[in-house]
Amino acid sequence: MTRNYSALTLFKEGLNGQMGWQKAWRSPAIKPRYDIVIIGGGGHGLATGYYLAKHHNIRNVAIIEKGWLGGGNTGRNTTVIRSNYFFPESAALYEMSLGMYETLGRELNYNIMLSQRGLLSLAHSEAEMEMSARIVNAMQINGTDADLLDKAAVREILPILNFSEGARYPVFGGVWQGRAGTARHDAVAWGYARAADRLGVDIIQTCDVEEFIIEDGRCRGVRTSRGDVRTDRVGMAVAGHSSHMAQRAGFRLPITSYALQACVSEPVKPVLDNVVLSPGTGTYASQSDKGEMVIGGGLDRVPSYGQRGNLPVLEHVISGLLEMFPSFRQLRLMRQWAGIVDVTPDSSPIIGESPLSNLFIDCGWGTGGFKGIPAGGLLFAHLLATGKHHDISRPFDLSRFARGRLIDEAAGSGIAH
């Protein structure tokens, strides 16, 4: 049984060597049967478990994770949340998610360290300014907050940017989304885990789902490293592993896997109080609460399952960073890492039933699924509980690739994820 702690307990534990804490969620033995099994204990799997219990009162649920919670991409991302998308389908999805993030800390009673510090997406030429105006128009029509900034307005927000005339990527202006920002990635996973556990969902860690139990052409359960589990429905949220798992279930997904890398600098005093992104240089950065510069870039376009950083990408990303912020050249890097992301042909996620009956998929979030965790979880839970799409998830069904109804955000918003 987990409990709430008071400020006094926190103080006492600080004095007595932190010996009295209880675990935030249970480590139950795996049962031979559940109503629903979710594969993957990242943000999406955990949120799905929570909403199944909370919204649909389905509590006989297992979330099976082969490693530790959030040890996949949820704990490896750069924590940016935003909803600056182009198409109405994406706007509805990511606006729903951003809105849920705004109240998530209170809902889960867990500090997710939400910081709506604003996101600035730079334009480095007249042509990029025109693109920016088009995106701002689309965002505003879709009901998303967005402003088009000229150079002077950008300088007011971020005076330490490189405004010199001789800059390789001169600043012309940019798109501003004030409600965008960051949230602590581990806290989102842990908050959902604790809340799901309290509603009775079993979280089974260090348990690998090795095969699907398929009978009469239907998925009837999963074969795990801790034995077989039978169930009515299986939900799969295994970013980076979706193609492998689909192969085990006997079908192929329109997904290519890439390593996405990020790095952090040593901590310094506060100098950057928003998220800044330069599509031109392919680099984005924000400053963490600890003071580190959290730096990311585009995909390493060589498809790979190598979950580690490499020098060519680092060099490219850092040269973009220094182009934007010449004063950062004295910073030292502390760490570089990577996660494997699954990218679809239209750079939008897949939420829907798979070709194998009773097996449902939530995948293909590519480089941008952290921001989609609350909505992804809620919509996937709806699908698993009812067998039917929520209106917002329907356009993201796998069938869109057969129907040709793509939601091509890489083309629409210039965001390759």
**Which region holds residue 343: left if phi is over 0, alpha if psi is between -120 and 50, else beta?**
beta
Helix (H, G, I), strand (E, B) or coil at 52: helix
From 44, 179, 198, 400, residue interacting with ligand FAD (rule: CB under 6 A): 44
Q: Measured from the CB of residue 208, what is the shortest distance to ligand FAD in angstroms?
A: 5
Nearer Cβ to ligand FAD (99/170):
99
* Contact between residue 67 and residue 204 where contact means Cβ atoms under 8 Å apart: no
- Which residue in the set 239, 253, 263, 318 belongs to the binding site for ligand FAD (CB under 6 A)? 239
Q: Is 77 in the site for ligand FAD (CB under 6 A)?
A: yes
Using rule CB under 6 A, residue 42 touches ligand FAD: yes
Residue 170 or 282 with smaller CB distance to ligand FAD: 282
Among 66, 184, 382, 400, binds ligand FAD (CB under 6 A): 66
Q: Taking CB under 6 A as the rule, does residue 51 contact ligand FAD?
A: no
Report how far residue 53's alpha carbon sits from residue 385's, in angstroms, rounded to the nearest whole number.
10
Find the binder of ligand FAD among 53, 62, 72, 181 (CB under 6 A): 72
Give the span between the Cα atoms of 89 and 395, in whole angstroms.
Answer: 7
Strand partners, 62: 37, 202
Q: Check residue 61 for interaction with ligand FAD (CB under 6 A).
A: no
Min CB(3)–ligand FAD separation in Å: 26
Contact criterion met (CB below 8 Å) for 101 and 47: no
CB of 166 to ligand FAD, least distance (A): 31
Which candidate, 88, 78, 168, places its Cα nearest to that of 119?
Answer: 78
Which region, judged by CB under 6 A, interacts with ligand FAD, from 63-71, 226-234, 378-386, 403-411?
A: 63-71
Between CA 123 and CA 403 the distance in angstroms is 34
What DSSP letter does each residue of 292-353 carry, written as one string?
PEEEEEEEESS-----S--HHHHHHHHHHHHHH-GGGGG--EEEEEEEEEEE-TTS--EEEE
8 A C-beta contact, residue 286 and residue 371: no
Under a CB-based contact definition with an 8 Å cutoff, are residues 119 and 180 in contact?
A: yes
DSSP calls for 370-385 = STTHHHHHHHHHHHHH
Task: Write each residue from 179 to 208 as x if it is in contact with ligand FAD (CB under 6 A), else as -, in one continuous string.
Answer: -----------------------------x
Q: Give first-to-last CA distance, the chain, whole Å.
A: 40
Cα 10–chain centre separation: 31
Residues 108-167 that bind ligand FAD (CB under 6 A): none
**What mask, x for binding ligand FAD by CB under 6 A, covers residues 294 to 333?**
--x-------------------------------------
Nearest distance, CB of residue 227 and ligand FAD, angstroms: 14
The SS3 of residue 144 is coil
131 — phi, psi (to 5°)?
Answer: -60, -45
> Contact at 8 Å (CB) between 188 and 75?
no
Give the position of tokens 């996660």.
Answer: 339
- Segment contacting ligand FAD by CB under 6 A, of 190-198, 233-241, 352-360, 398-406: 233-241
- Distance in Å, CB of 75 to ligand FAD, minimum: 7
Q: Which of 209, 276, 350, 415 binds ligand FAD (CB under 6 A)?
A: 209
| # residues near ligand FAD by CB under 6 A | 40
Q: Which of residues 366-395 bind ligand FAD (CB under 6 A)?
A: 367-371
Site string for ligand FAD, 247-276 (x = CB under 6 A): -------------xxx--------------
Residues that bind ligand FAD (CB under 6 A): 39-45, 64-67, 71-74, 76-80, 208-209, 237-241, 245, 260-262, 296, 339, 341, 365, 367-371
